Structure 1
Amino acid sequence: MKSLAIRCALLLALLGTYWLTYQHGRSVERAEAAAASAQRDSGDRLAEVIGERAARQEEQRRAQAQEEARAHAQEERKIADAGAAGADAVGQRLRDEGAKLAATVSCPGTDTAAVARGQAATRAAMVLSDLLTRADARAGELAKAYDRARIAGQTCEASYNALIN
């Protein structure tokens, strides 16, 4: 009986050893899996942070490019407005000269035919002066509209290029 008890005790000790070895292997495996998972999660977080940083930098680059395009457009508008003001001043002088010419075109005299021709020439000069005034005003409006459209188109193009590059 004693030998049976010793054999049972040895068998139980052997089974206990196997059980402890198995449990140790499971705990090592769990620790390795946890470490691998933590490393993977850390890499994922790092990639996410890097991605967010890159996205923020791209957003800032785009915003800066659009701001530069707006500033350039504002400068272009100032230049165009200054040119338009200068053209308006020149146009006004031209209209004034035309009105003066129309007012001075007359033939003073006693000959009724000459007076009639002078009045006709004065009317024609006034019509031409009025036509010149209208044409110059319209040309100024068209030039301003063209400048605004050109500047807006260039600004749009620069903003688009900034977004796609």
Structure 2
Amino acid sequence: MSAIWLKALPYIAAVLLALGALYGAYHHGVSTTNATWQSQWNARDTRDAQAKAENEAYARTREQAYQQSINKAVQDGQRTIDQATADASAARASADGLRGTADNLAARLAASQTGGHSCTAAASQAATRAVMVLADVLKRSDERSGDLAGFADQSHSRGVTCEQAYDSLGK
């Protein structure tokens, strides 16, 4: 039996050597393929990282442009609001003069009442009260209309500012 093994030993060694060579070739092919794929993955990862950096830079530039246009719209709007506030203050000062004139007229009318005939005095007193009520109504309506005009001017200015900021985002 040992003679058979001795005769078969070269064949067994040849088969083992052939199997070893085939395994070596297979292992070399696998490692070469893996290396090729790995280099392609690395190249793709590099391209992806570069594209990401470029996209982020573009997005930052665009965002800064949007922010600048919004800041400009806000500054312009604040200027308009400040102007509306100044105009409202000037109108209030002018209206104060009108109210002062109405008060003076009412005071003069009250002082001009004469103590003559009681019928005439009563009529004159009723007319004086009516004029004083009218002057008070005029003063109050003038104050309120000035307040409403100021609110309307500011609201309009803020709306225009908002529209300009929104429109700047669409560019």
Q: Is TM-score (shorter-chain normalized) higher than 0.5?
A: yes
CA shift at 1:109, angstroms? Answer: 4.9
Out of 109, 127, 150, the position equivalent to 1:121 is 127
Q: 1:85 aligns with which of 89, 95, 105?
A: 89
C-alpha distance in structure 1 between counterparts of 2:97 and 2:85, whole Å: 18
Work out whether 1:134 is the aligned partner of 2:134.
no
Determine if the alignment matches structure 1 residue 67 to structure 2 residue 71: yes
Structure 2 counterpart of 1:158? 164
Partner of residue 37, structure 2: 33
Name the amino acid aligned to 1:88. Answer: R
Tell me which amino acid in the other structure corresponds to 2:150.
K
TM-score (norm: length of structure 2): 0.72
CA RMSD of aligned residues (A): 3.4
Deviation at 1:126, TM superposition (A): 0.9
- Deviation (angstroms), 1:25: 6.4
Cα drift, residue 26 of structure 1:
6.0
TM-score (norm 1): 0.75
TM-superposed deviation, 1:150:
1.3
List runs of 5+ in structure 1 lacking aligned partners. 1-14
Question: Gaps spanning 5+ residues in structure 2: where?
Answer: 1-18
Find the counterpart in structure 2 of residue 149 from structure 1. 155
- Are the equivalent residues in 2 in contact too, given 1:80–1:147 (CA < 8 A)? yes
Q: Residue in 1 aligned with 2:7?
A: none
Give the drift of 1:86. 0.5
Question: Which of residues 56, 69, 72 in structure 2 aligns to 1:52?
Answer: 56
**CA distances 1:14-65 after superposition (whole Å, capped 9, x unpaired):** x999998877766665554344333222211111001111121222222222
Q: Which has the higher contact order (CA 8 A, sep 6+)?
A: 2
- Whether contact under 8 Å (1:102, 1:125) holds in the other structure is yes
Q: CA deviation at 1:83?
A: 0.3
Would the aligned equivalents of 1:107 and 1:114 in 2 still touch at CA under 8 Å? Answer: no
Higher mean displacement: 20-29 or 35-44: 20-29
Give the 3 Å change call, closer, same or farther, for CA 28–52 of structure 1 in structure 2: same
Q: Percent identity?
A: 36
